[in-house]
Amino acid sequence: MEILAKYGIQQTFYFPLIDAGTTDLAVSADYTPAATDCRLSKDGGSWAQATNTIADETEGWSITLTAAEMQATRIHINIIDSTGAAIEDQSLVIFTGLGGQIEATAGIYVIAVDTGTTASTTTTCEADMVGPHTTNEVTADHLNGRLLLFTTGVLQGQMTDITDYALANSNLSLTFTAMTEAAGSGDRAVIL
């Protein structure tokens, strides 16, 4: 499996492991990872033991790669049980070649319109952050000049510019250049 990731930044990756000789997912009772079970190769170079040991998660497994381990375009990871055959071998390939595009998305806010306190108009709406950030911006005017592109609802595909921003009623309060209709509750948009 190939995973897209950011270049040079410590990150945690999640994956399943299969219990050896079965089609069942491995759980902590099936397998105790050793430090030597996870090896990696950066851009086809020599294999080395990963800095961190595989961790048991509630619904699978994870490995955290350090910033130094993430300094490659392609990181190949092999997970092989060094003490026997408790798990089937697993291989992950992490690709950082799209790192710039992935990092650029960190500046994009995904919002959902909330009309519970204040009704939307053709020039205003209140909304909640839904991703990738879930904490509403507290600084007034922070989003002024950004573009607002609706991705669902009656305004889907329409884009406008934000002319004023404040935090009100625990929501983002946006004022923008007039749209053709008012956004409905739950309509989603991205702030670019």
Q: Are residues 126 and 91 in the same domain?
A: no
Give the model confidence (pLDDT) of 143-189 as tens digits. 999 999 999 999 999 999 999 999 987 889 999 999 999 999 999 99
Residue 29 is part of which domain span? 2-103
Amino acid at 159: M
What pLDDT is attached to residue 1? 64
What are the DSSP calls for 144-163, one per residue?
A: TT-EEEE-SSTTTT-EEEEE
Q: Are residues 115 and 99 in the same domain?
A: no
Q: Are residues 10 and 97 in the same domain?
A: yes
Looking at 103, 130, 165, which one is the last position of a domain?
103
Three-state DSSP class for residue 66: coil
What are the DSSP calls for 119-148, one per residue?
A: ---SSEEEEEEEES--SPP-STTTTTT-EE
CATH code of the domain containing 29: 2.60.40
- Regions of the chain where pLDDT drops below 70: 1, 99, 102-103
Q: Are residues 144 and 182 in the same domain?
A: yes
Three-state DSSP class for residue 59: coil
What pLDDT is attached to residue 6? 87
Tally the domains of the chain: 2
Q: Are residues 43 and 114 in the same domain?
A: no
% helix, strand, coil for the chain, step of 5: 5, 40, 55
Q: Are residues 64 and 117 in the same domain?
A: no
pTM: 0.61
Q: Are residues 35 and 116 in the same domain?
A: no
Three-state DSSP class for residue 3: strand
What pLDDT is attached to residue 82? 87
Contact call for residues 18 and 11 (beta carbons, < 8 A): no
Q: Are residues 159 and 141 in the same domain?
A: yes
Q: How does strand 171-176 pair with strand 124-131?
A: antiparallel
CATH code of the domain containing 139: 2.40.10
Q: How does strand 147-150 pair with strand 109-113?
A: unpaired
Cβ neighbour number for residue 135 with a 10 Å cutoff = 6
Q: Are residues 95 and 168 in the same domain?
A: no
Q: Are residues 116 and 185 in the same domain?
A: yes
